[in-house]
Amino acid sequence: MPTVGPLNVIAIDGPVASGKTALGRRLAERLGWRTLDTGVMYRALTWLALERGIDLQDDTAVTRLAEQTELEVGPPTLGSDESATIMVGGRDATPHLRAPHVEASVSTIAAVPGVRRRLVQLQRRQAQQGRIVMVGRDIGTVVVPDAAVKIYLEASPEVRARRRAAERQAGGLAVKETDVLTDLIRRDRWDAERIDSPLRAADNAAHLNTDELSIEETVEAAIQIAASQLPEEVRL
């Protein structure tokens, strides 16, 4: 019988645009594990709240939405850029997760304690279903604090802004790198200063700076970290 639980979890945390999602997907592909970017769950709920015209500043209303909405995480569809398919309230939110209005509002939703408590419950259920690479901002500190492997990605705001701007421009959006940098700094401050589950590295996390690394080099470094930390029963 396969080992189930924290021994089968690789936690990847870090600030926005540090390369967490790309690393999570590539690492999971190399290992043959599942992957989940937990940020898509917050994005899906944000999209649903905006669709329903809920005041995002009303913590009570947003928390009620999180508690009463059925949120299902499924495998990604063929060719999808997302790590999973997300259904909320019976609707497929996946095509809307990267929409500008969702991007601009997701930090507000993610800072609501009631929302985080609800989604952490769902994320822990995913962690109990077998080998998985989980990506987020509080995986190693809150969601699965006893994960076998914890990696904290780091990159300078300037490098992250350059990557994010290039990504959006490749998608056909007219954005300025300076505007992206301003938004990243705002998001960093929001994530670090929120009361519930602030962004920080777990005490025993391996820090990995990606400023000078390609995605391939980052994956190789992560594999070395995982190989050195995973227990014998789940060795790569």
> Over the stretch 120-136, which tens digit does the pLDDT of each residue have?
999 999 999 889 999 99
Q: How far is CA 216 from the centre of its chain?
A: 20
Mind listing the domains of the chain with CATH numbers?
A: 6-226 (3.40.50.300)
- The CA-atom distances, in angstroms, between 62 and each of 158, 195, 235 are 33, 17, 41
What is the C-alpha to C-alpha distance for residues 25 and 29, in angstroms, rounded to an integer?
Answer: 6
- Alpha helices by DSSP H, the chain: 20-31, 39-51, 59-68, 100-110, 113-127, 157-170, 177-193, 215-229
pLDDT tens-digit map of 26-36: 999 999 999 99
Give the mean pLDDT of 69-97. Answer: 90
Mean pLDDT across the chain = 90
> Cβ(135)–Cβ(24) under 8 Å?
yes
pTM of the model: 0.90
Write b or e for each residue in 72-110: b if 16 or more Cβ atoms lie within 10 A of its Cβ, otherwise e: ebeebeeeeebbbbbbbbeeebbebbbeeebbebbbbbb
Closest CA to 106 of 70, 141, 67, 62: 62
Give the mean pLDDT of 59-68. Answer: 97
